[in-house]
Every structure is written in C-alpha cells, then in structure tokens.
C-alpha cells in the first residue's frame, strides 16, 4: 500500500491571501516547481473520470469513508515534452494516498486506446511502480466503466515546511472547469467556468504531527477544516451535469460514451 498522509482543507477569502502568506513565510520555502515560475505558482490541469451515474460524486457527498477517484493530470502549458499522469487518488477516512504513472502527453490518446503500459509509461526513479500503477488505473476504469466528466484547472502556490519536508502547504486559486471534456482538452483554457472567484483553498498535507506554529496561525485566522472537494464544486457548477446528480439519468451523453477505452470492448468480447 502507498504511504498514507493526512490532508486538511480550508476555504479562505482571496482578500486574506497576502496576510496568510506573510504569516507562514518564516516557516516555509517555495516548492521548486513554483519557484521557477515568474508568478511563483504553477497551473494544474486535471480531467476527472466518473461512472455513468456519477458514483464518485455521490460517494463524496454521502461521506463514504473509503473512496477512489480517477484523473489525468498535467501542469503549466503544453509543449512537445509535456508530461501527463494517470492517477488514482485513494481516501481512507481522513488519510490520502496516490497511484501515479507518468507518460508523454502526446502518447495519452494511444495509451488510453491500447492500455500498453509497458510501451508508454515512463520509467523514472521517483515512480518505481509506475507501470503497475497505470495498470491499476485501467483496471479500475474497466470495472467502474468510467469516462471523462470534468476538466478542472487552477493555479497552485506550494510550500514545504523548513523543519519537516513532509509537511506541504498549498494555496489553490482561480478554480475553473468545463464539463464532458475530450482527452485532448487537458491543457485547454478556453471557455472555462470559474467557481468561487472570491475564495481560494488552503490545503495542509502531512504524514505525522501538526506543528505548533501552524496551529497558531490557523487559530489566528479562525480557520475551520472543511470537506472542500474541487470535483464536486465544479460538477455542481455545470447545468449539463446537474441532470445526472439526482440519479434519474444514468447515461452520459453519447459523445462521452464513445471515449471509453477500446481495449475494454475487446476484453469483454473475448470474455464472452
């Protein structure tokens, strides 16, 4: 099993971001990926998958303690060497773990059509189990019969604690989305709908222990932990998805059904 970490989320008015930034500054340093950017932040692009009944959405709202969420993730702007990740985000009550497999974005459509993990998943030292993680992604996609439901983008300002590098703090800003994307839309920014424009999401991620300095800051700002889900917020912001929320509609639009992986059809056919 992947290492489990705790993940606390807080919804904060954008007007307080500079004040909060000053408060944490003595205790943290910028993530290397944010540091190299002009604005000291990077853009996160994610395509979330769900079932034809939006089971993952409903499980979140129902407070199901053990959940899995499938997504494809990329960063910043697209170029020839852009890396995308097949991801499974797992939640066990308050703990989080991830399976993650990197590949070139230019090969994304091909791997989704063929599921050839050995050919397309990149072998990197920090993703030693990436091929198996990719296979798990395809396995869950098959048994849950998932398809792309929402493209969700935002800017992330990320920090690590100076005294404990396993403690990570992120400010996620400008949350925006589109519904029923194609896989090639991962880096798309056209026509996205903004959600919560007056707020940003503070996330605190850690494995063991919550430092006193951070507790004091959270008390000073009177912040209360919340169950903030970017996925559910964005799903609820789109009229074309809301008709599936009540459970009366169980089929996604026809163009979405066509994006199911072709290799699954072959496996089902051979299974008789």
Residue 181 pLDDT class (50, 70, 90 cuts): very high
pLDDT reported for residue 205: 95
The pLDDT tens digits of the residues spanning 192-245 come to 999 999 999 999 999 888 899 999 999 999 999 998 999 999 999 998 787 666
What's the confidence (pLDDT) of residue 2? 62
Structural domains of the chain sorted by starting position, each given as residue range(s) with its CATH number in brackets: 5-270 (3.20.100.30)
pLDDT for 93 equals 80
pTM to 2 decimal places: 0.89
CB 17 within 8 A of CB 155: no
Task: Write out the H or E segment, with its range, that includes residue 151.
Answer: strand 147-161
- pLDDT value at 104 more than 70: yes
- Band of the pLDDT at 263, cuts 50, 70, 90? very low
Q: Are 143 and 55 in contact (CB under 8 A)?
A: no
Average pLDDT, the chain: 89
Work out the pLDDT band at 260, boundaries 50, 70, 90.
Answer: very low
Alpha carbon distances (Å) from 176 to 152, 154, 229? 6, 6, 13
User: Is residue 253 predicted with pLDDT exceeding 80?
Assistant: no
Residues 51 and 65: their CA atoms lie apart, in Å, by 18
- Measured CA to CA, the distance from residue 54 to residue 52 in angstroms comes to 6
Q: How far is CA 11 from CA 16, 166, 169, 200, 220, in A?
A: 11, 22, 13, 6, 15
pLDDT value for 73? 98
pLDDT, tens only, 146-180:
999 999 999 999 999 999 999 999 999 999 999 99
The model's pLDDT over 44-97, given as tens digits with 9 standing for 90+, comes to 999 999 998 899 999 998 889 899 999 999 999 999 999 999 999 999 887 899
Task: Identify the band that residue 272 occupies on the pLDDT scale cut at 50, 70 and 90.
Answer: very low
Mean pLDDT of 13-30: 97
**pLDDT band at 267; cut points 50, 70, 90:** very low
């Amino acid at each position: 099993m992947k290492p489990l970490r705790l993940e606390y989320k807080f919804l904060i008015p954008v007007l307080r971001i500079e004040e909060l930034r000053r408060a944490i500054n003595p205790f943290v340093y910028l993530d290397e990926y944010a540091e190299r950017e002009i604005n000291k932040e990077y853009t996160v692009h994610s395509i979330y998958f769900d079932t034809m009944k939006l089971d993952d959405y409903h499980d979140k709202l129902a407070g199901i303690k053990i959940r899995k969420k499938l997504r494809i993730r990329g960063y910043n702007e697209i170029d020839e060497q852009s890396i995308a990740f097949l991801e499974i985000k797992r939640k066990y009550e308050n703990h989080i773990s991830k399976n993650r497999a990197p590949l070139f974005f230019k090969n994304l459509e091909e791997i989704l059509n063929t599921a050839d993990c050995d050919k397309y998943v990149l072998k990197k030292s920090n993703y030693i189990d990436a091929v198996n993680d990719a296979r798990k992604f395809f396995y869950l996609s098959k048994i849950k019969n998932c398809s792309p439901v929402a493209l969700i983008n935002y800017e992330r300002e990320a920090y690590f604690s100076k005294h404990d590098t396993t403690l990570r703090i992120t400010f996620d800003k400008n949350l925006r989305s589109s519904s029923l994307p194609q896989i090639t839309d991962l880096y798309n920014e056209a026509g996205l709908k903004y959600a919560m424009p007056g707020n940003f999401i503070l996330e605190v991620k850690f494995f063991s222990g919550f430092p006193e300095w951070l507790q004091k800051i959270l008390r000073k700002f009177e912040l209360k932990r919340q169950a903030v889900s970017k996925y559910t917020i964005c799903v609820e912001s789109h009229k074309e998805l809301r008709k599936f929320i009540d459970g009366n509609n169980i089929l996604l639009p026809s163009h979405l059904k066509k994006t199911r992986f072709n290799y699954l059809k072959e496996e089902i056919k051979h299974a008789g």
